[in-house]
Every structure is written in C-alpha cells, then in structure tokens.
Chain A
Amino acid sequence: MLQKKVCMLGSFAVGKTSLVRRYVEGIFSETYLTTVGVKIDKKNVQVDGKEVSMVLWDIYGEDDFQKMRWSHLRGASGYLLVADGTRKATLDKALELERRVREEAGAIPFIFVINKCDLLQDWEFDPTQAPELAGKNWSVLRSSAKTGEGVEEAFSLLARKMLG
C-alpha cells in the first residue's frame, strides 16, 4: 500500500486539529500536539482504485508562544493549508506559510482550505475576491469542521493531487 505523509499547516486556532478529528479517529492524546509540536493520525483513502494511507501530521500552528517546527514538514508529500475565514490575518499567515514551504521543501501539492464556513456571515474575506489570491491558481475549498462540509473533499482532492 502506498503511504503519504501529509502535513496540516496554518495559523494557531484555524481548526487544523478539528479538521483532522473530523476526518479520522485519533489514537494519540492531543497533549502531544503542545509538547512535541505535532500530532499524528492516519486515514486510508481510495484514489482511482488505489489505496493510499495518509499519515497526517497535524503541526502546531504558530502563535506568540511557540514557533512552528519546520523539521516536521520534511518528507511531506502534500499539505493542507488552513485558514480561518473569520480572521483575515490567518489568510496572510497562510500566504506566508506557503511561501516558506516552497523555500523549505519545494513545490509540493497542497490544498488551501478556508475553514469555519458554518460562520460564513462572519467571514472577513471572500476567497473569490481576495486580491492576495488573485492569479495564484491555488485549489481553494471551503470547509467546516463543525458540520463536516468540505472536509472529505479537501483530503480526497489532496490525495489525488499527490498521486499526480
């Protein structure tokens, strides 16, 4: 079976862990996340008849107290870049992270997920209109870890992109 390392990147509290929790049944305590800086889960998916084991590295988002450990990104076959639609600053952080990933690991497949679409009325930016995203040709999806909307699609799309 094919295995792929997938990282979850994004600002602090954009909902990365919630998305993973929504997607898989975790077995490790989430205290790992705050101590080591990553929490690992796994999800097997079928992509075009192939079974792919996605090992999800939920990397601690950067905040004022802790920096992201870029070493955890090494060897990743793809990543989900997560932003919070209700916080414009997380979009800026996502842009910065994407640039940083390109510098650190090269151009690897990713999906830009704007989370918390269940709070659409509170969104501070519209990804279709955001000038920061103009001309970037990113794969952008809206998701809600609360309702599950877009979660499966995001991971499936990433898996498909990783397999080329």
Chain B
Amino acid sequence: MGMAPKSSRDPLEFRKPPENLSVPEPEPPPREDDEQLYQELRELILAPEQQALKQLHQRVDDPASRTEDVGSVVAEAIQLRRKQGGDEALSAALTPTIETALRESVRKDPGTLADALFPVMGPAIRRSILETLRSFLESFNQVLDQSLSLKGLQWRIEALRTGRTFTEVALLHSLVFRVEQVFLIHKKTGLPLGHISAPSVAMQDPSLVSGMLSAIQDFVRDSFHTPREQGINRMNVGDLDVWIEQGPYAILACVVRGIAPRDLRDRMAEALENIHRDYSAQLEAFAGDSSPFAKVNQELGRCLGLRYREEAQARGFGFVYATAALIFLLAAGGIVWRAVQYSRWERLVNAFREQPGYVITSFGREGGKFVVRGMRDPLAGDPVAIINSSNVNPSAGVFYWGGYYALDDSMVEQRAVALLVPPTGTKLAVKDGVLEVSGTASASWVKEARAKALLVPGIRSVQFAPELEPVHLAFAEAKAAVEKSVIRFPLDSATLSSSERVSVREVAHNVQALVEAARALDQDISVEVVGHTDSTGAETSNLTLSRQRADRIVRELGQNGVAGRLLRARGVGVAQPLRNENTESDRGFNRSVTFRVTWANP
C-alpha cells in the first residue's frame, strides 16, 4: 500500500470528540500493540477510498487510459462546441492540424487523397473541359462563318474603325444574348457577396459596381418613394441590360448583352431563392466578411448563358458547307492536276527509257518537284530536245544524268562510226556486238580499222566483207594503179619519149604486181592496151595511129618483162577520148595509151 497524500487529513481527527464535551484524562503513549491496532483500524476505515484514489492516480498518469477517456467523448465535445456557436474557434484550432495532416498524407502517398477525390474531381474536370471546348467551338464557328461573308468584311472594317477585335465585333453582331456578369449584392450594405463573369468580358471592380447598383436603386426609391422591398427590376445602358432580382437580404443582378429570354428571370429567381435558403443566417448577420459565401458562385453560374442568332447559324452552316465544298473541290482539283502532271512526267520518263543511250534509275517527287535520275550515253539524243517534245513544264522538274556507255547496237554503231571514221563507200553495221564492215575502203583504212575496232566499247568482234580482205585489196590497188596510168605521145606519132619510157616501166611493174595479186585470188588477168588520138586528122589515119601507139606500148611492156600473152593491143582512134578537146592540152592528153584490166576467164 502506498502513502496517503499529504494533504489528506489524519483520519483520527474525525474521531475526536467535540470540544464542549468532557475531555478524559490523557492516555499514556501508545504501545507497540496499540500502533498495530491503529494501523489495522486505519486500513479498515480508509481502504476503499485509498484504493479508489490510487486507481485515479494510475488512470491520470497512464497516457493510454487518458486517450481512451478523451476518445470516448471527443465527438460529443465537438458537437457541443458547435451548438454553442464556436465554429470559428474550432475551425481555427483544427485548420493547422488538418492542413498538416493533409500535406503529410499527400507527401507520403498522393494516391490516397487522389483516390478519395477522384469521384468529385473527374466529373468536374470533364465538365469544365467540355464547357470550354463547346464555348471555343461556338466562337470559332461564328468567327469562321462571318469572316468568309460580305458581312464579315463589314465587321472587319468596323473592328478596324472601333479598335475592337474582329472576334468581339462578330460576337456582338451574332449574339441573341449573353449574360456577361452576375452579381450577388448584400442589400443593406451594397457590398458584393459573389460575382462571376463570362469569358473575355472586361470587368470593373465588383465592389464598385455593386455599390453603384445599390446607390442607383436607393436613388430611384428615394426619388419615387417606393417601399424598401421594391426596387429596380431592369436597367438599360446602351447594348447592355441589367436584370435585377430582389430578395430579402440580397439582390441578384445579371448584366445581359442583347435580348435575354424570359426564363432567365426564372433562373435568377430560383438561384436567389436557393441562396436565401442556404445562407439565410449568414446573410442576416453579414458584417463585411464574404468568406461564408465562397461557394455561392456555383449558384450564380446557373444564370450565365448565351445564345447566337439561329439565322446566322443557319447561314453560317451554309457558308461552312460551301466553304467545305469549295475546299473539297480545290483539293480534288489539286489532286487531279497533280495526277495529270505526274502522268505527263511519267510519259516523259518512259520516252527516255525507250530512247537508246538513256537509263532511268529513279523518278518521283521531291520538295514539290519532279526529280529524274539516270545515266546518259554521250552520243545519246539531246535530252532538252526530248523534254521539249513532251508537254511537261521543264521548270517543274530536275534531271540528274550520270555518264555511261550504252551497249545498244545502234549506240555502239554510232560510237564505231565516230571513232573509225569510215571513208565514203564504206558501211559499218553492228549486230549483237559484232561490227560488220563492208563496201570499199583503202587497205590502210582497213588496216587501221582492224586495229581500232575492238577498242570501241560494245564491239566484241569485227567482220570485214570479203572485198575488204587483204588479197582483194592488194589486187584492187594494183588494178587501180595500172588502170590510172596514161602514156602520152607526140602529135601524129607513135614514138615514145624517154620520159614516157620510164612511165611504161612503172606500168610494167604494176602489171607484174597485178598478176601476182590475181594469182593470190586464183585468177588470171588480161590487160587491154588501148591507143587513142586527138580529133585532128582523118578518122582512118587516127584509127591506124592509135593502133600503132598501142602496139608500141605492148612491145615496150614486153621488153620490161610483161608476158605478151597478158597483153592485147587495140586502137580506138577518137572513139573513146579521155577528155573533151577544148584546149590544146586536152588534145595532147587524148594522144595517149591507157590500160584496162579484165579477168582472163571471166
């Protein structure tokens, strides 16, 4: 057992007799047995109280017990305090704790509070976004509609003239009505309790507007001696109407642009009634603190609204459709035009593809231009001429050509002609990479062509025609050398001059070479020696003289080693003159002998 509190009185005191009673003799000091008895007596009398006191001490000292006690009455205590009108003090006391708890909760796990608020926040956010989008689309449609019309042009001029934005002017003209601002005003003080406004509305200070509205109402009441509960229901200022709804403690004022429908009045009345129902005590006790009315703007929001002219909308839709159709037609036209252009360019590209010496590697549009990439043989046709022959606009395209050697037969043939430069009478043809050379050509050209032909890109072999083979060429050259020889004689003579004898020896040499060339061809030749005269003198004597001249040469050739069997003399007189005799020189040329080579066995 613990000690009794010091402040407690000695229990024996209660046992003392009253003073006015007779007092017995003092007792001797207690013995040890008496002390024991006292102790037992004390315990007997005071034990329940001491036990209760001890338990009370333990309960007060034990935090768990205290918490249990307070917890069981805390809700009732808060309710009692609220009933006693201590809301503000209670709020002030609890706010820091609640704010701290909220902050701590968000810091620890934002998800908990987010989950709790989700059912409220989600719809509110969605509604806000939808309202904003709807408002934006309406405004956009209006502006788009009007900006494309004649009226839109007029309004644009008006906007320039008045300094307003085009959107604002368009809005003002196309509105049936719009509630631009809503004021909730305390009737007695004229102070604003709440205020909201439509987007993009220029606002004055709500306190001042509310005050002036109240002052004007007072002015009208004083002027016309109307009862206090009555007041102005409507004011008109220029484009604006102010609709006023009177309540016992507050008035609701809507600033309307345009002509509002009747049901706005009903909405105002309903809103004002709801406000008086929900805030009656606060309205009555209002002394300047508008914080209890923080949520009143939700109710005021019901009075905001707008409507556009239907005819403007109908026409607007017409314009929108017409605009859409125009845009569609323009787009379709653009697509068709592009397709036609593409088709033309595609045809041009195909023309290049068909053209020898061109290879197209890519074709398409890049950066709004047609781009053609490919390779071109240097000898291919002029690309500008090909483009000009098409019906495309050259400035709409760009060409990039790389160089290469085309292997088409025609291109290879052109290349061979350009490189070998065949003489007149020589024909070159390429077929499957084989160069075929025919016609007549000198042995030297043939020799050079034979050496250079395989250097021409695209030629893999060369075929010369038989007449261009070396043996044939040698025979032809020897024959030509003989047949071009002319041995000249003096007037009326078959005598050879010494210089002509030298020429005859050369002819003899050529005839022997000719015989050798003919032998290489397994042929025999015969050389006809033809005597000529000029036209002077008698025909018979000329014929004789020409024969004498031919015979003279035959003998001379024989003397120079030419077998006589190869030679045959013939005199033609003036029948086959070498030149027309216009001059003495011409006549001197006809006084000659010529040679004609024929096959011995044709």
Binding site for B on A (CB under 8 A): 1-5, 27-28, 32, 36-38, 40-42, 52-53, 55, 57, 69, 71-72, 74-77
29 contacts between A and B (CB under 8 A): A2-B288, A2-B289, A3-B189, A3-B289, A5-B190, A5-B211, A28-B212, A32-B212, A32-B215, A36-B216, A36-B219, A40-B208, A40-B215, A41-B208, A42-B205, A42-B208, A55-B190, A55-B191, A57-B211, A57-B215, A69-B218, A69-B219, A69-B222, A71-B221, A72-B215, A74-B188, A74-B218, A75-B186, A77-B288
Picked from B188, B212, B221, the residue with its CB within 8 Å of the CB of A40 is: B212
B225–chain A nearest beta-carbon distance, Å: 11
B207 at the A/B interface (Cβ < 8 Å)?
Answer: yes
Given contacts A2-B289, A55-B207, contact A71 B222 (CB under 8 A): yes
Q: In the complex, what's the smallest C-beta–C-beta distance from B194 to chain A, in angstroms?
A: 12
Instruction: Rank and list the top 8 A-B pairs by shortest CB-CB distance, nearest first.
Output: A75-B189, A40-B211, A75-B188, A71-B218, A38-B215, A3-B288, A36-B219, A5-B189
Q: A3-B192, A55-B208 are in contact. List 19 more A-B contacts (CB 8 A).
A: A3-B288, A27-B205, A28-B212, A32-B212, A36-B212, A38-B219, A40-B208, A40-B212, A42-B207, A52-B288, A55-B191, A55-B207, A69-B218, A69-B219, A71-B218, A72-B218, A75-B189, A75-B190, A75-B191
B residues within 8 A CB of A53?
207
Tally of B interface residues using CB under 8 Å: 22
Per-residue CB proximity of B268-312 to A under 8 Å, as 1/0?
000000000000000000011110000000000000000000000
Contact present for B211 and A55 (CB under 8 Å): yes
Query: A36 touching B207 by the CB < 8 A rule?
Result: no
Q: Which residue of A lies closest to B219 (CB)?
A: A36
Pair B215/A3 contact, Cβ less than 8 Å: no
A45 to B369, CA, bound (A): 70
Residues of A within 8 A of B186 (CB): 75
Interface residue ranges, B against A (CB under 8 Å): 186, 188-192, 204-205, 207-208, 211-212, 215-216, 218-219, 221-222, 287-290
A34 to B39 Cα, complex, angstroms:
98
- Which residues of chain A are near B189, meaning CB under 8 Å? 3, 5, 74-77
Within 8 Å CB of A52, what residues of B?
Answer: 288
**How far, in whole Å, are A154 and B219 apart by their CA atoms in the complex?**
28
Quick one: closest A residue to B220, CB to CB? Answer: A36
Inter-chain contacts of A57 with B (CB < 8 A): 190, 211, 215
Closest chain B residue to A75, Cβ basis: B189
Instruction: Compute how far the CA of A57 lies from the CA of B207 in the bound complex, rounded to whole angstroms.
Output: 11
Q: Would you call B287 and A77 a contact (CB within 8 A)?
A: yes
Question: When chains A and B are docked, how far (Å) is the Cα of A71 from the Cα of B222?
Answer: 8
Instruction: Among B192, B218, B221, B288, point to the contact of A4 (Cβ < 8 A).
Output: B288
What's the least CB distance linking A25 to chain B, in Å?
11
Question: How far apart sit A69 and B225, CA to CA, in the bound complex (Å)?
Answer: 12
Complex interface: chain A residues within 8 A of B208 (CB): 27-28, 40-42, 55
A1 cross-chain contacts in B, Cβ below 8 A: 290
CB-CB under 8 A from A42, the residues of chain B are: 205, 207-208
Give the docked Cα–Cα distance between A43 and B68 (Å): 53
In contact, B211 and A36 (Cβ under 8 angstroms) = no
CA distance A49 to B218 in the complex (A): 34
Q: Give the Cβ gap from A80 to chain B, nearest Cβ, in Å.
A: 16
Interface core residue of B216, B221, B287, B288 (most chain A CB under 10 Å): B288
**Which B residues are in CB contact (< 8 Å) with A27?**
204-205, 208
A41 (CB) vs chain B CBs: closest residue: B208
Measured in the bound complex, the distance between the Cα atoms of B191 and A76 in whole Å is: 10
Shortest distance in angstroms between A107's beta carbon and chain B's nearest beta carbon? 15
